[in-house]
Homo-oligomer: A and B are copies of this chain.
């Protein structure tokens, strides 16, 4: 005995995510959202509570999809190091895809949000920490299976990889050739592969 919703929550969230990722939190107005979601203010507020709340849900969706893609890449490679390198190489093709932005939405949010949006900023921080943890885990796994020299620190390597990815994607946000980004990612991937235990043995 109730009216059914004409909007799919996930679909609305996906549209909002697209807009927020492209324009950022501040530059995305409720007018923009109304148009993109084809919803009137009342419906948006009834569904998501506030612009801030909608943004936070969009952030979570972004991170969830990103982590899923990461895991998909990892699962395709038995070797942890190979999986990490493949993920980097895939990022090299970021300019070829049609995305709202080449930069990571978590990083965009981290850099844009201030005290007034501290909850969303903290959420972005937590999600970035989660990504870092996955990288660290993968490096730890590589160490366990003997791919990685025992003297190397998975935590440092994980952080380093996250910083490289942040940098790669920020760089890709510049008006640069797709080829330059591919070359950059390839270079990073090779640096990562050079960590293989047998190769490290030669230079340490």
Contact = CB atoms under 8 A, between A and B. Distances in A.
A125 interface: yes
Q: Contact size class for A?
A: 35 or more
Stoichiometry, as copies per complex, reads 2
Interface string A110-154: 111010100000000100110000000000000000000000000
Contacts of A166: 166-167, 170-171
Given A166-B166, A194-B203, 13 more contacts: A22-B114, A24-B114, A26-B112, A108-B111, A110-B173, A111-B111, A112-B112, A162-B171, A163-B171, A164-B167, A166-B170, A167-B167, A203-B203
5 contacts: A22-B114, A108-B111, A110-B174, A160-B187, A194-B203
